[in-house]
Structure 1
Amino acid sequence: MYGAEEEEEFRRLDGEGEASSKVVRFYGGRVPRTPMLDVMRQTIKKARVARLEEILSKRCSSVQVLLENVQDPHNGAVCIRSADSMGLMYINVVEYFMPFAYDPELAHGSDEYVEIKRFQTSHDAVRQLKREGFSLLAVG
């Protein structure tokens, strides 16, 4: 149903920025190709796949939010919804004093589109984000 002309190949970069030998095939440049998705893709209309890929192309992984010790589950849900509304893909949370909690009903499904990365200390979170090449901006 879908030809090779619709598929792109990319080489993943390792931590030092060198191209690895692993070739990853993508649909439309954003969604890694898997055997399960190959099967599912045959049953989904081409227009629907194009729409999903369009939405994914507008998501942003180059900006991430870092939160520390969010106490109220309502606030946690609002943070997730806000990140999703801006197209962000990741929220990083530090759970030094208490685990990050959110009310799924108040998240209104945004928690399915935003991945939550959890850290025990601020130091761990900052070290990981810097390792991934991020600069940090503190807002208080």
Structure 2
Amino acid sequence: MRSDDPDVIEIEGPPPLARPAQVVIEALSPVVTPERLQRIDEVVRTRTDELVLVLDCIADPHNSSAVLRSADAFGVQTVHVIVGEQGFRASRGVSKGTHRWLDVVRYQSAEACARRLRREGYAIYVAAMGADTTPEQLHETPRLAVVFGNEHRGVSPEMRSLADGTFSI
């Protein structure tokens, strides 16, 4: 997909709320049906912060979009993005607006991303060809950040050096 395609959008992350979240919830709750409130509560309760995704300089907007949709579908709330030379772009048609329901956190370097993940208690594992560890073996890791690399170059050497290990899919 060409970067100048009209379907391509730059993903900046969630806009800041003008008011505290609780104030927004209290203001909107009276105009939302009880069924809708129940569904929203159910979705929020099933979101996880025990697993986060890290995208290391993803180039193809279709791939970015597919990852965002998958994160949303599986209840992964946060996607950390190390922005590549082309920014972090998604396809409107593929992403279906899921980026609006996720916390997308952008970084200019792998080091800044890893520093935050460590501060928040995450173990960092990068996807790599031929790694001995499988995703099933990572299941017991209490707070896990999984890193997926660029479609052509894989995970950057910088991020590999900052990771706790590798896994193969």
TM normalised by structure 2 equals: 0.59
Structure 1 residue 45, shift from structure 2 partner? 2.5
Larger Rg: 1
Cα gap change, 1:92/1:44 in structure 2, threshold over 3 Å: closer, same or farther? same
What secondary structure does 1:118 align onto? Answer: strand
Cα gap change, 1:33/1:96 in structure 2, threshold over 3 Å: closer, same or farther? closer
Identify which of structures 1 and 2 has the higher relative contact order when contacts are C-alpha pairs closer than 8 Å and 6+ apart: 2
1:61 to 49, 74, 79: 49
TM normalised by structure 1 equals: 0.70
* Correspondence for 1:52: 40
Pairs within 5 Å for 1:74-113: 74-113=62-101
Give 5+ residue unaligned stretches, structure 2. 1-19, 129-169
Cα gap change, 1:136/1:111 in structure 2, threshold over 3 Å: closer, same or farther? same
* Correspondence for 1:135: 123
Counterpart residue identity of residue 39, structure 2: R
Is 1:116 matched with 2:88? no
CA distance, structure 1, for counterparts of residue 93 and residue 21 of structure 2: 32
Structure 1 residue 96, shift from structure 2 partner? 4.4
Give 5+ residue unaligned stretches, structure 1. 1-31
What secondary structure does 2:126 align onto? Answer: coil
**Identity over aligned pairs, percent:** 23
Aligned length: 109
Is 1:40 matched with 2:23? no
Is 1:126 matched with 2:107? no
* Correspondence for 2:160: none
What secondary structure does 1:60 align onto? Answer: coil
* Correspondence for 1:26: none
Q: Which runs of 4+ in 1 moved over 6 A?
A: none
Cα gap change, 1:112/1:43 in structure 2, threshold over 3 Å: closer, same or farther? same
